[in-house]
Chains A and B, each alone.
Chain A
């Protein structure tokens, strides 16, 4: 299994351009997430989805949009790129948290390798 796959791995954008970061998972996870990671700042949640057709804002959603038309895919769209969006973007997926401790019910997030975006 591939797990969580993100494309592209690297991208340079000019200010005002738009692009879509792709994320796909093959683990049949209902829950998917987009985070951004800035140096020394940890990870900030941008958007999340609890299933196909359902998305919601996280802590830092401004300047981004998402869609979830299938269980597998969760693309992140940047409209009118700004230098403040220079970051490393991580997509993740999970199963709902359970309390039995059985494998797959710990709420563990599975991460992609990241997409490094520079806006100049």
Chain B
């Protein structure tokens, strides 16, 4: 199945940009996803990118996809304290009914 790797922690100052990186092993996923989890809550879809795209921009969010290196990144511009959360990248697990395979999550801490 898909292996998805992420760094576990990132700390940034408010107003700076945050970049969260992810590598994956399976190239068959039609979409790749970024989910956000706030404390005590479920996961919510933040953004996604279609596998034939290199970049997707959505307001403060920029997703970059390098298919050759199997690398996905999420950039958050002008990071705010409300962005503090755990961020998961995910791809489709090919043999489990379109289940998503998640990385272990990156804890983003935004300090004033």
Interface residues of A (CB under 8 A from B): 4, 31, 33, 40-43, 45, 48-50, 56, 58-59, 90, 92, 94, 96-97, 99, 101, 106-114
Contact = CB atoms under 8 A, between A and B. Distances in A.
A89 B34 CA distance: 20
B48 A48 contact: no
A31 B8 CA distance: 30
Interface of B: 1, 4, 8, 30-31, 33, 40-45, 48, 50, 88, 92-93, 96-105
Contacts of A113: 41-42
Closest 7 CB pairs of A and B: A111-B42, A42-B104, A43-B102, A50-B97, A48-B97, A111-B43, A113-B42
Contacts of A97: 30-31, 92, 98
A4 B48 CA distance: 20
B41 A33 contact: no
Contacts of B45: 108-110
Contacts of B40: 114
Contact of A108 (B48, B50, B101, B104): B48
